[in-house]
Structure 1
Amino acid sequence: MPIKIGLVGLPNVGKSTLFNFLTKKDILIANYPFATITPNVGVMLLADSRLEKLSKCWQSKKTTPSVIEIVDIAGLVKGAAQGSGLGNEFLSHIREVDLICQVLRCFPDQDIVHVEKSVNPIRDWEIIQLELIEADLQQIERKLTKLKIRDEKTQKEKNVLQSVQEKLTQEIPTSQLDLTAAEKELIKGYHFLTNKPVLLLANYSGEEKEVHELREHAKKKGLFFFPLAVKLEEEMTELSAAEKKELG
């Protein structure tokens, strides 16, 4: 099974443009929230020069590269965990991915609506993070209400859940908790949203100061950071080989 990467972010931050660029598809891109309703799914081929050399060396009849599945998930808004926007449906789609790629808007463009009225990627990251935390807290509360202590294992499970719950209320994601291997195994089946690896992708168009601020924020939080001028990259793919060579 290929690894699934979910593109997550507020509406109109460039998720669908990024999806088209990575998967070479052509899905709707519109200047209004929730242009994406159901997730768009595509695959991205992983170019590997080693595979190409081996294929030529062994004169393979067929060469099959590895792929990554890309899932373009509908835009999140404040209150998603309480049902705002696409609410729980949005969050359920995130549960199915292996890695969350948070697409954060750093580019200024008055013609493209921003649901929060201004460009501030760190604030947008905090909105997403709080919604993921809230969703995990709701899941724990539901489980603790139903959990019946029948043996030592269920007692340990309850203890771990209560410990995770306490940290989440302090806005500490599950991925940052110092859990033992046995404790991780007890909560493995919950697929907590805050336990998934996260990549922050800064979608920029020029030398925006927001990119530098987000880079420092990611470093402080211990998160992977990658800046990408998504629109420019997509436009570059349409150039001919000669044009690309001329631009270097």
Structure 2
Amino acid sequence: MDLPKNAFKAALKEGRRQIGYWCSIRDSATVEMLANCGYDWLLLDTEHAPMGGTDTLPLMQAAAPYPVSCIVRPAWNDTVEIKKILDCGAQTVLVPYVQNAEEAERAVAAMHYPPRGVRGVAGATRASRYGTVKDYAKRASEEICLLVQVETVAALDQIEAIAAVDGVDGIFIGPADLAASMGYPGESSHPEVRKAVVDAIKRIRAAGQPPGFLSLDMSFCREVAEAGGQFIAVGVDNASLRQAAVTRREEWR
């Protein structure tokens, strides 16, 4: 069997905008339904959702029949956790809270087998299609995609250094933690936060990396898109479900 292609990574290289959706509900039927909604990518979140890295395996299996890429966010920049996520079949990983080039380099090392990195080698995992992908250990890096998340004032100062790290394929701006870092907790769309995010998006582009972003504020998303945002998440599953339920309740009151 040939190495599965990473459509998301290819799109980033080609400069095509990719619109995504955030998944925090640990349910394969929900992910399967969302996979059939026409988004380019789904983010399976193990940082701020009640699921672990290995819980993403059935979720990726549920999405597999559909033309959508799955990205997995580990809870931390942890080599062991990233190893398990990759073995479960993730090809794109979004590592949170990367503060500088050194931490970006550590994430790169976790994503790749020796001699480039420190990823542990296993045989019959879903990543290698249970041992059927010829020369998987030698070729895995071809389709591996690392996104790092910049989400503090200190990290914004390091954008150019992080972008220069070989093996980083994109930089994602997390507005919620950034807002808290700036002194505006819970105010992700504060004017000063918006200004900082848009400036960061432009700097990421200028540094030669595709920028990413998530917000439920569509005017903010459009502003980021106009600034050059390339992979943008425009919804979160549990937020959408609650909003729809509340809206329907209000219609019938």
TM more than 0.5: no
Select the structure of larger CA radius of gyration: 1
TM-score after normalising by structure 1: 0.34
TM-score after normalising by structure 2: 0.33
Structure with bigger RCO (C-alpha 8 Å, 6+ apart): 1
